[in-house]
Amino acid sequence: MASANIKEVARYAGVSLGTVSNVLNRPEVVASTTRQRVLDAIHKLGYVRNDSARQLRAGRSRTIAIVVLDVSNPFFTDVIQGAEQVVESSGGMLVVCNSGENARREDRHLDMLEEQRVQGLLITPMSDGRHERLDALIAHGIPVVLVDRGSGHPNRCSVAVDDIAGGRLAAEHLVGHGHERIMYVGGPLSIRQVADRRAGATAALAERAPRARLETYETAGLSVAAGRQAADDLAARPEGERPTAVFCANDLLALGVLQGLTVHGIRVPEDVALVGYDDIDFAAAAAIPLSSVRQPRALLGRTAAELLLEEALEGDRHGHRHVVFQPELVVRTSSDHRRGLVAGHPPAR
Amino acid sequence: MASANIKEVARYAGVSLGTVSNVLNRPEVVASTTRQRVLDAIHKLGYVRNDSARQLRAGRSRTIAIVVLDVSNPFFTDVIQGAEQVVESSGGMLVVCNSGENARREDRHLDMLEEQRVQGLLITPMSDGRHERLDALIAHGIPVVLVDRGSGHPNRCSVAVDDIAGGRLAAEHLVGHGHERIMYVGGPLSIRQVADRRAGATAALAERAPRARLETYETAGLSVAAGRQAADDLAARPEGERPTAVFCANDLLALGVLQGLTVHGIRVPEDVALVGYDDIDFAAAAAIPLSSVRQPRALLGRTAAELLLEEALEGDRHGHRHVVFQPELVVRTSSDHRRGLVAGHPPAR
DNA sequence: TGGCTGAGTTGAATCCTTTCACTGCCTGGA
DNA sequence: TCCAGGCAGTGAAAGGATTCAACTCAGCCA
């Protein structure tokens, strides 16, 4: 039942502890006949290395953790997959922790990860206020890379996407199609991303179409249900008072708005054009394929992981970097009825 | 930089090692003044327990792992969240590993989890052929619970949903609405779930509507794209030769079919009724809300985790169980135009 | 033959926590 | 006054892998 340990392997193979360890970690220094004898013993006894002992000695584990706000949000699963690729090919292991937008759970995870002396941490923290907890981790020598929060903090790296540019892209596209009454649906505005995307849209309108108006509809959250609610409210207005275009802070909201409008017989894009944000795979799969501002989700994860590995390698010489990606607009039917279903690139992975 | 250890805490507080350990693990046996002194020292020195040493001593970690086929499939994220609840409230920690439908990655994860002596494992394995690897884990004393694969194996528990019953539900619903030409879209048929769902549908037709016909359209995978392809093929047929209803092996396929049919001007449900499987949240959020066979996804995860904890607790006395849940049909607009948008229960979590 | 080299191997020390048999001390009862 | 018993606290041992200085030995040259 209990696995054999290195000592039993050594005895069985008729060598010392050190030799077994060498076979495991530096096989080239062991004579090939000895090596084979040890490998046979390992196989025979079903020996499995005890990682706890190994880590205890090494002072550090080889696993990297990613803490996300919501595993069930397709945006994050794509970020995870990107990080996975990099960690995997470096021979490490990525574990995923889900804070579920709950500060207590985030804390619990951070505590346990710190006790485990993880090699490093990728995290999209709950809020900017939680940076002290992260500082403590960093002070204990655990590198942290922020994902999707530009921070400019001097003691950690970060990767993010330029949300202001994203807001611009969406707004410019809509005014380019002649829309002058645009509604921004998103909330709460206390979330930096939500605010930044709106700010970008506002700026674009000011520059490109001074006559155009951007109305804000603040939602309680970023879910499909919140989007449906927004659509209901919008449909309740007299026809003349409705915007001709809606820009949503993320795709879940946009899908909700789409569904709500359809119920009320308001056609997308003929009556109301619609643009979402994130370009999750389900955006392209909606019955009216959704135009969306694409974030390089997997690239975000990959880059974050690379920065982390870099820091782990370079140690104190490491210079922290803040990488900001540019978003990209993907136009589909929901904001341009001339687009066929094939419009837009295939979803990024 | 490097954290203080228990010895330094002991010296700082003027007590012995054992006392510090007692404060940490059995605070009630320590006199309150001493306890406070130790806690102060811990705080002062920023002491963080070293989990490796702890595990080494204990011989076992307290983390539980869940290995899923695809983190980006909403079905699995819901299973994860269910498991998370249970593990969390038991004071453990759940880590998520993604095999990405790749046998090598699955192996790597299993190897590392075994080295880490995890307390237990929830897994939806790649295929039935991989059970030997799991047997090895079990032989080494790591309990394994299969998720979503009924197995009847005598040395492990499993949780699953009755796919034959699910197929029946869908088919009975459709024949109940007068459909006699039904198409089953799903594949590859080598996946047991895909085959079982079809078998259930076939059985239901034989009993309830001997005149009805079930045609099978085998897809290469279970993706949105595959569903779209199926819809294209279907639309290419002369109108009289099309089925009047389509039953898909999962919701991603169904969303693809829905999208494809819409493009070709085929109305859902008026021209073709549509039923999916899994009832992922996006099913209810589709522009034509999708009827679907709901699996108790979160319950699946919860139960799996409970069985695992039970086994970890009971040890050898544990009797392995195989829990099979019954699926439930959720009727929405896609198969019944009389349903409003509010039809169907709110999505299960 | 003696000395030297280098490849191969050894085993004690180390990492940190938990456990448990044990010591001291104190109190209450005889 | 003595003893039993309970409470606090102690410290050595154990858990398993890794590291590294030290050692062995065969081979080679002078």
Q: Span B189-213, mean pLDDT? A: 92
Question: Could you tell me if A285 and B255 are in contact, meaning their C-beta atoms sit under 8 angstroms apart?
Answer: yes
In B, residues 211-270, which contact A (CB 8 Å cutoff)? 224, 252, 255-256, 258-259, 262-263
Answer whether any strand C atom is within 7 A of the Cβ of A53.
Answer: yes
Return the pLDDT at A145.
95
The answer to whether residue B154 neighbours chain A at the CB level (below 8 Å) is no
SS3 state of residue B221? coil
Question: Could you tell me if A292 and A275 are in contact, meaning their C-beta atoms sit under 8 angstroms apart?
Answer: yes
Query: In whole angstroms, what is the distance from residue B182 CA to residue B206 CA?
Result: 13
Q: Span A320-335, mean pLDDT? A: 95
The answer to whether residue B138 neighbours chain A at the CB level (below 8 Å) is no
Return the pLDDT at B342.
40
Return the pLDDT at B150.
63
Q: Among all residues of chain A, which has the CA nearest to that of B113? A: A51
Domains and CATH numbers, chain B: 6-49 (1.10.260.40), 60-161+297-326 (3.40.50.2300), 163-296+329-335 (3.40.50.2300)
Answer whether any strand D atom is within 7 A of the Cβ of B17.
Answer: yes
Q: CB A95 to CB B97 under 8 A?
A: yes
Chain C: positions less than 7 Å from a protein CB are 7-21
Q: Dump pLDDT digits (tens) for B304-347.
A: 999 999 998 887 788 899 999 999 999 999 999 776 444 333 44
Answer whether any strand D atom is within 7 A of the Cβ of B56.
Answer: yes
Answer whether any strand C atom is within 7 A of the Cβ of A176.
Answer: no
Q: How far is B288 from chain A (nearest CA, A)?
A: 7
Q: Among all residues of chain B, which has the CA nearest to that of A347? A: B225
Closest CA to B147 of B297, B337, B335: B297
Task: Between B340 and B188, name the one with better pLDDT.
Answer: B188
Nearest to B285 among A49, A100, A259 (CB): A259
User: At how many degrees (to 10) do helices A192-208 and A163-176 cross?
Assistant: 40
The answer to whether residue B24 neighbours chain A at the CB level (below 8 Å) is no
Residues forming beta bridges with residue B275, ordered by sequence position:
B247, B291
Answer whether any strand D atom is within 7 A of the Cβ of B58.
Answer: no
Q: CB B224 to CB A140 under 8 A?
A: no
pLDDT beyond 50 at A343 = no
Q: Give the nearest nucleotide to A16, CA to C1'.
A: C10
Closest CA to A332 of A296, A298, A297, A281: A281
Q: Dump pLDDT digits (tens) for B13-26.
A: 999 999 999 999 99
